Chains A and B, each alone.
Chain A
């Protein structure tokens, strides 16, 4: 579905900017509520994430001693900007992407990594012992999931023969759902997404029983709120990406809602099924298993395409 609006509206209000942030908060609520129900708890009411965010935004931001002030203030903004910019290249909510060019997939993936990088820097910037350990773990985790996640998103791109997310969307919409053709890639992508978002069981970087809140321990008020919003936006984008690549693409808003809700159920179920992995276990899992599986998938796709060329 095409959307012809003024570019500024596209950027600031819909589908980017404000709307995306609110949807992100709604996703956070859905995430918390679903996990709570899986754990036989009641869970928060729908406006809880909104209330939390407004409260945090209104609160005083405490800058601890010994930090680089500009960096401390800029990092949450950079993280959020990265996530919001990435959204511009993705056909969000079933509408065509606001901007697109050949190879925007790579840009989006880099933009999404800004969040983890910012969190890592934010942790290393403060002097607290918890944040430093949190930052080390966050960056270690990034190096472990990033390659398999990239491989898992690359195989559909190679199958489609384009690195433009919009065109991949059209391709997956016209062909058989790639979850059936590339099941390994789907698993790697979903689990990679969970690692990226530091969701349980990959939440070692913010393991509350060991290092309080990890890299963000010293953040309060506005900075914390912006990091939270950024993370929620990443959740929306990540789920949308996986839906586009593996669940037959998004042609209209209804398809978007149904497919992301289905994927969301899987992700929340996975969140409540496992004990937290130690950081060394996470790295081991990704490099011993995830990367190999992703690579295998990629080779299979390339071989398949090669075979197709010959037969034709």
Chain B
């Protein structure tokens, strides 16, 4: 018995687990129901996209980078396009910039509604999950009508956009925005008044402003803790210069605040989309851009639904980039989970995980661990293959 007492009781969540539909491994050491330690292990879906970018030209990279994330594909393309345009010294026409923002905000709506449903499901509130996903279909339909695709809309091209909005479409979108706004009012009411739901969110996973800053939290997670961090406001890019947004801030930092912040951001998105559709100026939607991008390096930051998305692009003067570095928002937020998990109940863990709106496939990295005893080693393809065969023998 004394032996058993010393042993840690670790509950693994993932890489295959009903709570997480994406592969990530979390180990929670529990004492009864109370979590005493938490660890994150990532890297199950590393795809080597950054490296693959170096073997393709800029136009091909655009399509590849859209597939980094299945939910926020547009912001990835936007970040890349803005960076490349800056390198090439090209400015997309104002109408194109506005359409980029329009697509980005539609994407934010669909991403936040998706997250809202998933988070409700983690709380065991399946009715809310089904309702939000039903309403999310509305915005998915808009995106399909707009671009012809529900997920990878491919709105951007280098030097502009490839879709346009006409009056008929604009009326349709406005009507749907009214519907979604009404639904969001209802969800806001549920989130802030439903007792069972509040029992799972209020005061759970509170992240103080200082900790959020220290751990480098981004996006709604940071904003729910009172950190003023929103690239759309801090460093307006693309059409956000013309159509500014209001930053949504909450001071509490618990799960409820994260729900409230995201729902309030939806209101802001509805408002912005209406404004764009009202004020959009007729004009060109593309400009010409050369295939070869001049030598140089650039940093491009945009606000994805989950937070700050960071691109570093280095060009060597050819058709292909020398280096593309992506830092996705989920990667910045993992630290907050292990920080706040300790002391909470095991039942709160799925909610806490969902609270940062994690996206696994876009943040997986190859990690090289350097130890003093073993020198770091380079492997060629054949060596790696042999190592793999030996390892699993």
Q: Interface digits, B291-332 against A, CB 8 Å rule (1 contact, 0 not)?
A: 000000000000000000000000000000000000000000
Partner of B9, one of A38, A129, A207: A129
Give chain A residues whose Cβ lies under 8 Å from the Cβ of B19.
208-210
Among A40, A136, A200, A280, point to the contact of B345 (Cβ < 8 A).
Answer: A280
B346 located at the interface, meaning its Cβ lies under 8 Å from any Cβ of chain A in the complex: yes
Which residues 1-55 of B sit at the A interface, judged by CB distance below 8 A?
9-13, 17-19, 30, 32-33
Contacts of B17 in A (CB 8 A): 212
Q: Which residues of chain A are near B348, meaning CB under 8 Å?
A: 278
A286 CB to closest chain B CB (Å) equals 14
Does B246 sit within 8 A of A, measured CB to CB?
A: no
**How far apart are A24's CB and chain B's nearest CB, in angstroms?**
23
B12–A129 touching, CB < 8 Å: yes
Q: Is the interface of B mostly helix, strand, loop or mixed?
A: helix
Binary A-proximity of B346-376 (CB < 8 A = 1, otherwise 0): 1111100000000000000000000000000
Within 8 A of B (CB), among A36-94: 38-41
The reply to whether the CB of B215 lies closer than 8 angstroms to some CB of chain A is: no
Contact A39 B347, beta carbon cutoff 8 Å: no
Q: Which of A39, A211, A274 contacts B130 (CB 8 A)?
A: A39
Shortest distance in angstroms between B351's beta carbon and chain A's nearest beta carbon? 9
With contacts A275-B197, A278-B200 taken as known, whether A210 is within 8 angstroms of B349 at the C-beta atoms is yes
Min Cβ gap A220→B in Å is 16
* Inter-chain residue pair count (beta carbon < 8 A): 81
**B127 x A209 contact (CB < 8 A):** no
> Chain B contacts of A278 at CB under 8 A?
199-200, 345, 347-348
Of the candidates B11, B126, B127, B134, the one whose C-beta lies within 8 Å of that of A130 is B11
Most buried by B among A272, A275, A280: A275
User: Which residues 158-210 in A have Cβ within 8 Å of B in the complex?
Assistant: 200-201, 203-204, 207-210
On chain B, the residues within 8 Å of A266 by CB distance are none
Determine if A209 and B122 form an interchain contact, defined as CB atoms under 8 angstroms apart.
yes
Interface string of A113-142 (1 = CB under 8 A from B): 000000000000000011001001000000
| Smallest CB separation, A208 vs chain B (Å) | 4
A210, B124: Cα distance in complex, Å:
10
Within 8 A of B (CB), among A268-285: 272-281
Whole-angstrom distance between the alpha carbons of A38 and B125 in the complex? 13
The 8 Å CB contact of A274, one of B18, B129, B196, B345, is: B196
Residues on the A chain within 8 Å of B196, using CB: 201, 274-277
Taken together as a complex, chains A and B put the C-alpha atoms of A200 and B124 apart, in Å, by 8
B109 in contact (CB, < 8 A): no
Task: List 29 contacting pairs A-B, 8 Å CB cutoff, sorted by A.
Answer: A38-B127, A39-B126, A39-B130, A41-B130, A129-B9, A133-B11, A133-B30, A201-B124, A207-B124, A207-B347, A208-B18, A209-B121, A210-B13, A210-B346, A210-B349, A212-B17, A272-B127, A273-B127, A274-B125, A274-B194, A275-B123, A275-B125, A275-B128, A276-B123, A276-B196, A278-B199, A278-B345, A278-B347, A281-B199
